[in-house]
Amino acid sequence: MASEEILVFTTIGDRDMAEEHISEMLEQGIITSGTIFPEVELVYMWDGKITVDTENKILLKAKADQYNAIEEYIMKKHPYIAPEIIKMDVSFGSPAYKAFIAEKIKKNS
């Protein structure tokens, strides 16, 4: 059985832009919340060389039925050519937290 909740991970270089994107998605009602992990290091191969960059990791919490809207938002607004978008089906943990999230979604709908 598929989960009703999802986590979506993405990254962006500019912290102010990360806050702006989260705020816009909240205003549109497509996410419940967003968390910014500032200045994480990305280590990867580029042109045969190990490269280290810094970026902001973003964790979005949402209802599963909002995934397409979230992906569309990221693809439209993100400055990267191919932004990272990782979706994970989840259950938001404890019954108290799950009830809290359900109430937040209800109020924001």
What gap in Å lies between CA 109 and CA 97, rounded to an integer?
A: 18
Q: What pLDDT, on a 0 to 100 scale, did the predictor assign at position 105?
A: 67
Token reading at 50:
């190990």
Domain positions in the chain are 5-105
> What fold characterizes domain 5-105?
Alpha-Beta Plaits (3.30.70)
3-state DSSP call for residue 3? coil
Q: What pLDDT, on a 0 to 100 scale, did the predictor assign at position 104?
A: 72
Tens-digit pLDDT string for the chain (109 aa): 566 889 999 999 999 999 999 999 999 999 999 999 999 999 999 999 999 999 999 999 999 999 999 999 999 999 988 999 999 988 767 788 777 777 776 776 6
